[in-house]
Amino acid sequence: MIRNTLLEQLLPCLWYGCVDRAIALLRSVEPTQIKNQKALADLIGYLERNRPYLPCYAVRKRLGLHNSSNPGEKANDLVVSERQKHNGMSWSRWGSVALAAITTLVRNREYMRWFQTGTLSFSFCA
């Protein structure tokens, strides 16, 4: 199967952050081997557009950093979704951003500093 062979070559490229190599690999596939040319073009376009933001997952793993969006998704649940989605409320864009900012200040115990000095402390989690 071309799909499995291609994935065996593509996934290591992406794991090690070799986006250029991944794009070249996808472009080298014979058009007759792919059913959905648009999906292939979309994937190449996605990789090209997001090239600066695609990390080397191998390095992140070695450093003990997250390789998924789970922490961000959970933070969104705690900061935004819990208050704004589950109560059946309708929010303007500005109101939503403002509520998320204030909720974040409270969750991070930074609200007093922010309201008194207009500054925040910054530190990485252990």
Q: Per the domain annotation, does 126 fall within a domain?
A: no
> Would the pLDDT of 98 be above 90?
no
| pLDDT, position 86 | 61
Q: Are residues 87 and 113 in the same domain?
A: yes
Give the mean pLDDT of the chain: 86
* Domain-embedded: residue 45: yes
**Same domain (yes/no): 46, 76:** no
What's the domain count of the chain?
Answer: 2
Alpha helices, DSSP H, located in the chain: 2-15, 19-27, 37-50, 57-62, 70-76, 82-84, 93-107, 111-117
**Containing structural domain, residue 89:** 70-117
pLDDT for residue 117: 92
Q: Is there a contact between 56 and 25 (Cβ–Cβ < 8 Å)?
A: no
In a domain, 78, yes or no: yes
Q: Is the pLDDT of residue 114 over 70?
A: yes
Q: Are residues 28 and 9 in the same domain?
A: yes
pTM of the complete model: 0.59
Q: Examine residue 24 and state whether it is found in any structural domain, yes or no.
A: yes
The pLDDT tens digits for 41-60 are 999 999 999 999 999 999 99
Residues 93 and 58 in one domain: no
DSSP label at residue 110: -
Highest mean pLDDT among 2-11, 20-29, 101-110: 20-29
Place of tokens 């109560």: 87
Catalogue the long-range contacts made by 96-103 (C-beta closer than 8 Å, 24 or more residues apart).
103/78, 103/79
pLDDT at 121: 83
Are 50 and 74 contained in the same domain?
no
Q: Which residue in this structure is represented by tokens 């250029």?
A: 20
pLDDT of 78: 73
Last residue of a domain, one of 20, 35, 62: 62
